[in-house]
Amino acid sequence: MNLNKRDFFINLVLLLLIILLLIQAGFLWISFSMPNKVEDLVFKSEDASMDVFMPSMLVVNLGYREHYVLRNFKDYWKLYSSDISEILENASSENLIMIDEKTYLNLQNKKSLVFKFSSPISASILINLIGENKKDNNINLSINSIYISDDNDVYLCASNNFYKLLGLKTNLKMNRLIDNAKNLGTRYINFFERYGIYKDTLIPDSDFIKTQKIYYNIATDALTDDIRNNLAVRYLQTDLDYIKEIKQSEKTSYIYENKYISFNKNGIVEYSNEEEFNVTDRNLYTSIITALEFLSRNSGMTSNVYLDSTNPIEYKGSLGYKFFFNLRESGKNLVLNSKDNSFIEMDVFSNHVKFYREYYFKRADDPSYNELRVKVLDIKTIIDRNLKIFPQEKTEDILNLLNNLSIVYINESTTDSSKLKLAYELLINGKKYYFDISLGKLILIR
């Protein structure tokens, strides 16, 4: 009897192992098979926009000189975004009251949350991108940050002005986040606490910050014929049998009718659609959704991508937008050290994507995580050392003119495997200056 029971359990274990191996084999087949035909992919604009338009940082304020910056907070953004969208939907010129920057900075001394965006975003676009339903609102503001107090009052920083929303409160439950802020975030202080300047700008409250060695490689070199074929099918939206392939020394191109996609050895992927189109109304929301769907379907990149800037464009009488997307690495913005301003550039005319260009760079696999402590120079010291590159003659004048200050990653090269370095990004009068965070040397002016 005991032997029969033992045999039964042995056979059961073997059966379960066989089933597990079959399941794993199925997953491997799903992951690596390269279909030669167009597949219907389900696109959810809400998921893509939640990633692409997620703020660049979440600041948890606990009090004077106690501001904790979180870079990886996607779960909190998902939890709070619907409530924030509803508040913005009900905002209007009647319930907005302007306050000065000093008053706004004093609010940072109270327990609160601040969602800060990489670049200003239209309130109406934000509502539609993060809300559950397509809505409109009555304010014409480009939002830089959203402040929510621990008693759920709402303030906005928009176009370098500050506003309080009267009669509107959120229902956010933030006690646990506030209680754990010291463990979750990195401590920062603002300009007033360091320099006595009333400016909504944060800097690290430490001479060192934690990071790791990160390398990015040109990924087009690693593309096999099968992978390129699969990407061509996706971009050109037709079966491989109808696609013409042209191989040259520096690139491989695929052509179908009026569309082509090329993979260059220098890491650049380019797509163009020369089909005739006519778009007489410039529609930002529709163009953004089209861009997100194109990104999601073809490159699969939305989780670490953010919209950096937008320019209206015109082509043969049609009206559209040029979008500049950049990447995030470990929660920080990644800046492309190149004549091009972005990793991804796209020309979109409502439902039509005319042009797409991407620097096809991927993070190098590193199974070991080696934490580093990097020295951080004070921004005042860096400006002192580089005064000759600024039109202003005094460091204090430059600090007062500073529109924004961020810590970003920047790549050393676009022609080879490149190590990322930490840099200060200073925005002054529309011009961006990048300095090595440890050495204070100028890297790039844009």
pLDDT, one tens digit per residue, over 173-193 is: 999 999 999 999 999 999 999
Residues 261 and 329 in one domain: yes
Residues 58 and 143 in one domain: yes
Tokens of 308: 């950096």
pLDDT at 1: 47
pLDDT at 372: 86
Phi-psi region of 224 (alpha: psi -120 to 50; beta: other; left: phi over 0): beta
Q: What is the mean pLDDT of the chain?
A: 87
CATH code at position 257: 3.30.310.160
Residue ending a domain, among 155, 171, 205, is 205
Q: Is residue 107 part of a domain?
A: yes
Q: Does residue 327 or residue 29 have the better pLDDT?
A: 327
pLDDT of 26 strictly over 70: no
Q: Does residue 3 or residue 68 have the better pLDDT?
A: 68
- 21 pLDDT band, cuts 50/70/90, is very low
Domain with 271, as residue range(s), is 216-363
Residue ending a domain, among 340, 363, 386, is 363
Helix (H/G/I), strand (E/B), else coil: 85: helix
pLDDT of 131 strictly over 80: no
Residues 329 and 425 in one domain: no
pLDDT of 159 strictly over 90: no
Residues 242 and 176 in one domain: no
Residues 72 and 195 in one domain: yes
pLDDT of 80 strictly over 80: yes
Residues 166 and 66 in one domain: yes
pLDDT at 345: 97
Q: At what angle do helices 45-52 and 74-89 cross, to 10 degrees?
A: 100
Residues 151 and 55 in one domain: yes
- Give Cα separations from 414 to 19, 88, 182, 411 (angstroms): 46, 40, 37, 7
pLDDT at 340: 86
Rank 11-25, 147-161, 342-356 by mean pLDDT and report only the highest. Answer: 342-356
Q: Is residue 288 part of a domain?
A: yes
pLDDT of 31 strictly over 50: no
Q: Is residue 325 part of a domain?
A: yes
pLDDT at 368: 62
Residues 385 and 409 in one domain: yes
- 260 pLDDT band, cuts 50/70/90, is very high
Tokens of 402: 């500073």
Mean pLDDT over 137-144 rounds to 78
Residues with Cβ within 8 Å of 54's Cβ and at least 6 positions away in sequence, in order, are: 74, 77, 306
pTM, full prediction: 0.85
pLDDT at 222: 80
Burial class of residue 385, CB neighbours in 10 A (0-12, 13-18, 19+): middle
Helix (H/G/I), strand (E/B), else coil: 346: strand
pLDDT of 22 strictly over 50: no
Q: Is residue 23 part of a domain?
A: no
Q: Is residue 132 part of a domain?
A: yes
- 34 pLDDT band, cuts 50/70/90, is very low
Residues 195 and 221 in one domain: no
Q: Is residue 131 part of a domain?
A: yes
pLDDT at 25: 39
pLDDT at 40: 53
pLDDT of 27 strictly over 50: no
CATH code at position 399: 3.10.450
pLDDT at 5: 52
- 12 pLDDT band, cuts 50/70/90, is low
Q: Is residue 41 part of a domain?
A: no
The string of pLDDT tens digits covering residues 305-357 is 999 999 999 999 999 999 999 999 989 999 998 888 899 999 999 999 999 99
Nearest one of 349, 213, 211 to 284, comparing CA atoms: 349
Q: Is residue 433 part of a domain?
A: yes
Cα 36 to its chain centre, rounded Å, is 31
Q: Does residue 357 or residue 250 have the better pLDDT?
A: 357
Residues 226 and 196 in one domain: no
Residue 357 near residue 345 (C-beta atoms within 8 A):
yes
Residues 77 and 137 in one domain: yes
pLDDT at 137: 56
The string of pLDDT tens digits covering residues 399-442 is 999 999 999 999 877 777 778 999 999 999 989 999 999 999 99
pLDDT at 8: 55
Residues 225 and 332 in one domain: yes
Lowest-pLDDT choice from 87-101, 260-274, 311-325, 428-442: 87-101
Residue ending a domain, among 328, 363, 398, is 363
Rank 134-143, 206-215, 300-309, 382-391 by mean pLDDT and report only the highest. Answer: 382-391
Q: What percent of the chain has pLDDT over 90?
A: 61
pLDDT at 323: 97
- The domain tally of the chain equals 3
